Chain A
Amino acid sequence: MIGARTIAEATIRDTIIHRIDPRAKILILISTVFVAVALDNPRTMFLLFLIVLSGFALAKMPAIKLKTLAILLILLIWGTIYSQALFYSQLPRTVIFTIISPDFPVLGWLTNGGLFVYEEGLRHGAIQGLRSASILSLGLLMCWTTDSRDMLNGLVGLRVPYSVAFMVVTAVRFLPIIITEVTTVITVQRLRGFNPKKFGSGIIRTTLNILTPTLSNCVRRTGTLAVSVQSRAFRANTERTYLKKLKFSEFDKAVLTICIFAAVSIVVIKLLYNMYTSGIYYTSGLRPVYAIARGYL
């Protein structure tokens, strides 16, 4: 329970990352998503990933969260590289390792000409992995350094309807409790002789056995919470006031400006470069821009 809660909830400290306005954090995340999608260069992508990771050091995240992040990143990057290396379909591609030879009986035919690890696939997988890892890491950094109240106010400040923001934040708040309950349900069933199945036909029975008590308990809890918030005049008015007022600091404004400027610049440069490579638009005056795109983006 304590472990699940520590992982799921924000760690509140007084660091430069924690002090950033939640609205700025959300906008930085959105900017980074655009940058990560636009970038193709593995070195620049790796640099972006390192910049994001440095945020965890600045935020002085506890070991349990760093461990969780490491597990998630390893699974994500390894899974992406592995799948892309095997199933890369673009040409040209260079085989660096043969897993199943085309001549291998049955399997060679089943795999439609063998199974290989491609050099280009590895490279493509690494880029894809780093792209997803950067976004995931920054998302987690944002959640782990922002108190739920600030997150709620941040979402509302960005014009997300209060009811929707409240639902999102409350769902996150109850997540660790639900995780703990699932663990309890599985153990209770094991003690009654049930062996939960991870594969095969038994998985449906297992899922139902776990979901039924967990969901019915969630419904009961949600009912209580709903009555509790209703009795505190939730949505009694179309507007509401707030005890805490969010305020952009100069630092927030500077960081946000840099991020948005960088994101817009990268996207525009990539767009121009793609127009050039596709033969849609070219002008010699943009040669330095094309060079930057080819060399670094």
Chain B
Amino acid sequence: MRKNKGGTIIEIKDLWYTYPGRSEPTLKGINLKIEEGEFVLLTGPTGCGKSTLLKTLNGIIPHESGGMFSGSIKIAGTETGDSNQMELSRKVGLVFQNPDDQIFSTIVEDEVAFGPENLCFEREEIDKKVGDALQMVGLPGQRLDSTNSLSGGQKQRICIASMLAMLPEILAMDEPVSQMDPAGTRDILKTVSELNRKQNISIFLVEHRLHELAPFADRIVIMESGKIILDQPASKAFDHLEVFHRLGLRVPETVELCHTLGIKASPFSAEETIPLLKTGNFKEKAKTYLTRSIPEEKASSMSCSNSMSCPVENNEALISIRDLWSGYDKSLMVLKGINLEIHRGERVAVMGTNGSGKSTLLLNLAAMLKPYKGSVKVFGEDTKQKTPYSFAGRIGVVFQNPDLMLFCDTAEEEIRFGPLQLRYTDIEERTRTSLEAMSILDLRHDLPQSLSRGQRLRTAVASVLSIDPELILLDEPTTGQDRVNIEQMMDYFKNKGSTLVFCTHDIEIAMLYATRILVMSEGQIIADGKGRDVIKNIDILRKASLTQPPIVEIANYLGIDAFSITELVEVLTCRNPDVII
């Protein structure tokens, strides 16, 4: 599978770095070697120093950042401290999380040509490099397209192409797929993998979504508090599962399954896992898991979310949508004839590709967008006659970007803001409960904007919780977040019995927490039902660029009706191993 490997392309020795104005170093004695042509996946909890390490590779730290820097970084034998930005730019290409924050040109060609132009190549050479780079990322036909007309995945590939045009030896990527829908993620991973295999470009990639990226990596490196605590080949990294669990990192379901069943292997796909299930009797090991490892609460949540009999508190319809047509331009409707009822106590996951209408649906529910045709009734009131202010205190919205929700001087003020404006009486109690619920009590005096991304999200959620709205709308709340943050937030909503509508690309989270899943495609609802019913329909999933979680694939292959690791383990331990495959 692997390509030719050469010498060491990155060599980091005893690297320490402290940002200007901070006393605590962000990087603490990093030692790391990456071989030419290697694909290294760097992960760790938010704020552990992963992105900082990435920025040291092409000299942005310390050349542009200032701060205290010590140690050595050699890129292809060249010390970054001794070389200039131009030289390093040709060796290391950086790609970031959100393509919209990186693309500044309106035409694809201009964006890709920017680097070679800065490096003073001749016009003919720039032209060739642009063409070659677009060819490498599979977008040769989009050269003269507007960057705004591209999908999220295509935009990120343009960002990669703009680096490739400078012919780097290393591609360093900071969570490049965290904001992508499943189709975009597949596009990016296919592109990166091909660049790695065919062009022998070394890949150094930071990402939380281990379960999707681990199959592509040669090595997995884990950082914690500025230090590397694990550096193993991808096939062996998950032998140290306790490290992943302790740091709240997401483990591929297939790996979790095998470890639960006592199988000493780390497969990354259903196909690799199925033969391993032949290997023997794992009853004893699995029983231990079933009785000890899975907290009772989580187990019940899985069965509840997947069960046909999951209770909805009563039949009162909070939301009633009839033949909804809505969009941002009359000539271009995003939602096309939506009919929907959501009842009190339901947790509804809205899934689908980017542009399928998920966020537009949410904006209609919050009365932020008005129907062009049809009606949206929330709490029995037609939103056409209402403004978002009419639903203040009754609807809470958390956006994908928590930064747009934080404007007070401390986290505590942020959380008090809503109850204070709405003149609630028990403000102190509400504030304390919300701070505790999101585990940010110790951060209550901190400036919200200075917190880590996970902490900022929790502060934004707490600021909505303190109002205790009847309906909570979350627009892709899992984007760029640790598993721990996601679970803490979703567990709270589940335990509280909140009525929740959330957009997500993460089918595992939807299966775990939603009582109902809506799948949208091209402005229409193409599936609406319990998670386990929706997930069985492969055609529907394919239409929305979704795939079944590997556990469901394995269960299907084995002819078992199971939708989570717990369920699959339960069934497997009750069966004779000889009968399984």
| Interface residues, chain A, with chain B CB atoms under 8 Å away | 1-3, 5-6, 9-10, 12, 64, 147-149, 169-170, 173-174, 177, 181, 184-185, 187-195, 208-210, 212-214, 216-217, 220-221, 224-225, 227-237, 239-245
Instruction: Tally A-B pairs: CB < 8 A.
Output: 181
**In the complex, which of the residues A149, A169, A210, A214 has the most CB atoms of chain B within 10 Å of its own CB atom?**
A149
Query: Are B389 and A177 interface neighbours, CB within 8 A?
Result: no
Distance in angstroms between the alpha carbons of A105 and B89 in the assembled complex: 75
List 6 additional A-B contacts (Cβ < 8 Å) besides A147-B106, A191-B392, A225-B101: A173-B104, A193-B393, A225-B104, A233-B85, A236-B86, A243-B110
Mark contacts of B447-483 with chain A using CB atoms, 8 A cut-off: 1 yes-contact digit, 0 otherwise. 0010000000000000110010000000000000000
Tell yes or no: B510 within 8 A of A by CB.
no
- Across the two chains, which residue of chain A brings its CB closest to B414? A192
Instruction: Give the chain A neighbours of B407 by CB distance below 8 A.
Output: 185, 189, 208-210, 212-213
Minimum distance in angstroms from A245 CB to a CB of chain B: 7
User: For residue B106, which residues in chain A have a CB less than 8 angstroms away from its CB?
Assistant: 9-10, 147-149, 173
In the assembly, what is the distance between CA of A195 and CA of B90, in Å?
52
Of the residues A149, A192, A227, A239, contact of B110 by C-beta under 8 Å: A149
- Tell me whether A191 and B166 are in contact in the complex, defined as CB-CB below 8 angstroms, given that A212-B407, A237-B119 are known contacts: no
Name the distance in Å between B240's Cβ and chain A's nearest Cβ: 32
B163 lies within 8 A of chain A by Cβ: yes
Which residues of chain B come closer than 8 Å to A233, judged between CB atoms? 85-86, 89-90, 115, 118-119, 166
Query: Is B391 part of the binding interface, using a Cβ–Cβ cutoff of 8 Å?
Result: yes
Q: Which B residues are in CB contact (< 8 Å) with A64?
A: 329
Residue pairs across A and B with Cβ atoms less than 8 A apart, 12 shown, are A2-B329, A2-B332, A3-B329, A191-B392, A191-B396, A193-B392, A193-B393, A213-B404, A213-B405, A216-B449, A228-B94, A243-B123
A243, B130: Cα distance in complex, Å: 10
Q: How far is the CA of A208 from the CA of B413 in the complex (A)?
A: 14
| Chain A nearest Cβ from B22, distance in angstroms | 16
| A188, chain B: closest CB distance, angstroms | 5
Q: With both chains docked as a complex, state the minimum distance between the C-beta of A235 and any C-beta of chain B, in angstroms.
A: 7
Quick check: B105 and A227 within 8 Å, CB to CB?
A: no
Stretch at the interface among B37-45, B417-425, B435-443: B417-425
State whether B127 touches A243 (Cβ < 8 A): yes
* Pair B60/A236 contact, Cβ less than 8 Å: no
Q: Is the CB of A243 within 8 A of B113?
A: yes
**CB contact between B366 and one of A191, A213, A216 (< 8 Å): that residue:** A191
Known: A191-B391, A228-B96, A232-B162. Is A241-B122 also a contact (CB below 8 A)?
yes
- B295 CB–A CB distance under 8 Å: no
Bound-complex Cα distance A60 to B60 (A): 45
Q: Is the CB–CB distance between B329 and A170 below 8 Å?
A: no
Contact B123–A229 (Cβ < 8 Å)? no
State the Cβ distance, A173 to closest chain B Cβ, in Å: 5
Q: Which 3 A-B pairs have the closest CB atoms?
A: A193-B421, A236-B86, A232-B115
A224 touches B101 (CB 8 A): yes
Contact (Cβ within 8 A) A194 B86: no
- Are B114 and A232 in contact, CB atoms less than 8 angstroms apart? yes
Q: Which residue of A lies closest to B334 (CB)?
A: A2
A216 (CB) vs chain B CBs: closest residue? B449
The answer to whether B102 touches A217, judged by C-beta atoms less than 8 angstroms apart, is: no
Known: A1-B328, A224-B102. A191 touches B92 (CB 8 A): no
The distance from the CB of B98 to the nearest CB of chain A, in whole angstroms, is 7
- Convert B394-410 into 0s and 1s, putting 1 for each residue whose CB lies closer than 8 angstroms to a CB of A: 01110101011111100
CB of B55 within 8 Å of the partner chain = yes
Quick one: which of B121, B148, B463 has the most chain A CB within 10 A?
A: B148
A249 CA to B397 CA, complexed, in Å: 54
Instruction: Give the distance to chain B from A19, nearest Cβ to Cβ, in Å.
Output: 16
Is B252's CB within 8 Å of the partner chain A? no
A133 to B58, CA, bound (A): 49
**Interface residue? B486 (CB, 8 A):** no
Considering the complex, give the chain B residue whose CB is closest to the CB of A182.
B404
Residues of A close to B58: CB separation below 8 A: 231
Residues of the A chain whose Cβ atoms lie less than 8 Å from the Cβ of B276: none
Interface centre among B126, B159, B407 (most CB of A within 10 A): B407
A244 to B397, CA, bound (A): 45
A177's contact among B100, B127, B392, B395, by CB below 8 Å, is which?
Answer: B100
B497 CB–A CB distance under 8 Å: no
Other-chain residue from A194, A195, A224, A235 in contact with B98 (beta carbon distance below 8 A):
A224
Q: Mark B312-348, 1 if CB is under 8 A from A, else 0.
A: 0000000000000000110010000000000000000
A228 to B105, CA, bound (A): 13
Cross-chain contact B92 with A242 (CB below 8 angstroms): no
Measured between beta carbons, the chain B residues less than 8 angstroms from A185 are 404-405, 407
Contacts of B90 in A (CB 8 A): 233
Q: Are the C-beta atoms of B463 and A192 separated by less than 8 Å? A: yes
B64 within 8 A of A: yes
- B387 close to chain A: CB less than 8 A: yes
State the CA gap A228–B93 with chains docked (Å).
Answer: 9
Contact residues in A for B105 (Cβ distance below 8 Å): 148-149, 173
CB distance from B379 to the nearest CB of A (A): 14
B119 touches A236 (CB 8 A): yes
A238 to B105, CA, bound (A): 21
Contact residue among A170, A193, A212, A239 (Cβ-Cβ distance under 8 Å from B104): A170
Q: Do the beta carbons of A2 and B392 come within 8 Å of each other?
A: no
Closest to A63 in B: B331
Q: Which of B97, B104, B120, B329 contacts A240 (CB 8 A)?
A: B120
